[in-house]
Amino acid sequence: MKPVLLIDFGSTYTKLTAVDVDAEEILGTASSYTTVQTDINEGLENALRQLQEKTGKLDFVKSYACSSAAGGLRMVTSGLVPELTGEAAKLASLGAGAKVVGVYSFQLTEDDLEEIQGLKPDIFLLVGGTDGGNTENILYNARMLATIEPKFPIVIAGNRTAARECERILAGWETHICPNVMPKFGVLKIEETQNKIREIFLNRIIQAKGLSKAADLLSDIMMPTPSAVLKAVELLSQGCEDEPGIGDLIAVDVGGATTDVYSVADGMPEHMNTVYKGLPEPFAKRTVEGDIGMRYSVQGIVDAAGLQRISQISRLPKDRVTELVEELKAHTDQLPNGDSERERLDFALAAIAVEEAVTRHAGTIEETYTLMGQTFVQSGKNLTKVRQIVVTGGSLIHTKETEKIAAYALYSPASPASLRPKEADVWVDRSYILAAMGLLSSYYPQTALRIMKKELEFHGYSE
């Protein structure tokens, strides 16, 4: 037996997964409240005790971890044009596993600087201009940033002509120069920037989040939890070596505060009479909806769908929906616990969270007419041919209605412009192993893939 320990320091719970990499099986899982307010190691030790009560004493040969504790990796970005370099910066940050708490375009103002100071970012991503293009904007923003306190790491990934000058302007700051995230108009180059963001997370953010003692127990890797999940879904989709994946997919993680959506698919137009508008999107893409969550962000679900829609899905009167939502906002740890009304409300909230988050993640298509006749314009990813949906998050795995909730990720005639999947099989992460398998995949990709294919609960598509 060759046991490996995989740790996910979550915002609420620290989750452990023990794996025997020789037998390619999970030995046990456990979780405990993340004690980030005191000493995060307390939560880790509590979870370890629970785990070894199930598995017996284990001598781990390796241990790896990811973290979203204390707010995760908070990033702010600034670019030139919102739809171009600004969007490229956002895609780079999200793909690196960050929580993007601020996005700015054009020249930063004094009010912007006040907001940025209040946001307290872990990292700032400074971009703007294609190579050989505009340098004025990024240099101006560098000068503005140089005036504020406290200092934070700044990744410079804009017009290469201005990069070194930005570095000189920001003398005294921790700066890192990366290739331009958009070197040419409509071209994305974000991989090196994402790697640098993760490296800063390793070298600096671990200490800021109180994880330095826990890091001493680790063999090597620590990354933001969303980055680990993205690695897992990429592996599950694409496969490795002689082990095939399951094909193009989307994954949805509905949490208490946010809903993350991942897609692994090309997503480009399928037909000759469809033109693509905007930046090409990453093959493996992540978005996070910070206003959509089952507890802390429940009001965002209400705002997105309206009381009438929630009432319709839950089969509860609107006034009762209002009462129950107010209860959830006041008691974010509340669970349905067999209460019929609360179960119906949770079903409706989860369904709308999935629907809204996947709709925002997927692309759109619109019909137009030119001198050549009927034409379609696509923005974002075309996910209509994706045939696999992976779901996780408490509201989806602790219910018997998982398939029905997951179905809200699919195309609906009510939103004909949305390029969501037409039909799909559902894979349920009942044991919360996606982040753990993303960690494991860095060293044992084939083992991680085989465990996922074995452990994820499969439900074939049915209308």
Q: Is the domain of 255 the same as that of 401? A: yes
C-alpha 22/C-alpha 15 separation (Å) is: 22
- Do 9 and 82 share a structural domain? no
Give the DSSP H/E element, type plus range, for residue 215: helix 212-215
3-state SS class at 289: strand
Q: Which domain holds residue 36?
A: 1-70
DSSP SS3 for 389:
strand
**What per-residue confidence (pLDDT) applies to 205?**
59
Which residue type is seen at 25?
Answer: E
pLDDT at 385: 94
Say which range, 232-236, 246-250, 290-294, 349-353, has the weakest mean pLDDT: 290-294
- Helix, strand and coil percent figures for the chain, each rounded to 5: 40, 25, 35
308 lies in the same domain as 321: yes
Out of 35, 51, 70, a domain closes at 70
Residue 227 covered by a domain: no
Tokens of 192: 């090196």
- Domain co-membership, 339 together with 357: yes
Same domain for 282 and 364?
A: yes
What integer pLDDT is reported at residue 387 of this predicted model?
96
Bridge partner list, 110: none
Find where tokens 């860095």 sit: 442
Q: How far is CA 310 from the centre of its chain?
A: 25
Residue 169: which residues within 8 A CB-CB, separation 6 or more? 139, 142, 143, 146
* Amino acid making up residue 112: D
Question: In the chain, what is the straight-line distance between the N-terminal and C-terminal CA atoms, in Å?
Answer: 43
Query: 177, 203, 229 — which closes off a domain?
Result: 203
Instruction: Work out how many domains the chain is built from and give that number.
Output: 3
pLDDT of residue 215 exceeding 70: no
On the question of pLDDT at 424 being above 90, the answer is: yes
Per-residue pLDDT tens for 257-314?
789 999 999 998 988 888 888 778 889 998 888 788 888 888 889 999 999 999 999 9
Mean pLDDT value across residues 139-165:
93
- Which two three-digit tokens encode residue 116? 């940025």
CA 219 to chain centre: 25
Task: Please give the average per-residue pLDDT across 23-52, as a whole number.
Answer: 78
In angstroms, the Cα distances linking 243 to 250, 291, 397, 443 are 20, 38, 27, 15
Whole-number pLDDT of residue 282: 87
CATH number of the domain to which 187 belongs:
3.40.50.2300
Using DSSP, state whether 65 is helix, strand or coil: strand
Closest CA to 229 of 364, 114, 393: 393
Residue 405 within a domain: yes
What's the pLDDT band for 207 if we cut at 50, 70, 90? low
pLDDT value for 287: 87
pLDDT for residue 434 is more than 90: yes
- 395 and 248 both lie in a single domain: yes
Residue 39 has pLDDT above 70, yes or no: no
What's the CATH code of the domain at 53? 3.30.420.40
Pairing of strands 154-156, 123-126: parallel
Task: Let me know if residue 211 belongs to a domain.
Answer: no
* Domain end residue (candidates: 70, 102, 118): 70
Backbone angles phi, psi at 411, to 5 degrees: -55, 140
Whether 300 and 163 share a structural domain:
no
pLDDT band at residue 140 under the 50/70/90 scheme? very high
> Is there a single domain that holds both residue 335 and residue 286?
yes
Beta strands in 230-359 (DSSP E): 239-240, 243-244, 249-254, 259-264, 274-277, 284-289
Same domain, yes or no: 435 and 350: yes
H or E segment to which residue 27 belongs: strand 25-33
DSSP 178-196: ---SSSSTT----HHHHHH
Note whether 17 and 26 are within 8 A (CB): yes
The phi and psi torsions of 343 (rounded to 5 degrees) equal -65, -45
Position 463 scores a pLDDT of 54
Nearest 10 degrees: Cα torsion 23, 28, 33, 34: -10
Same domain for 275 and 183: no
Q: Confirm whether 233 is domain-assigned.
A: no
| CA–CA gap between residue 67 and residue 10 (Å, rounded) | 6
Q: Look at residues 446, 456, 433 and name the one whose alpha carbon lies nearest to residue 28.
A: 433
104 and 52 in a common domain: no
58 and 96: one domain? no
Q: Above 70 in pLDDT, residue 94?
A: yes
Q: Is the pLDDT of residue 231 over 90?
A: yes
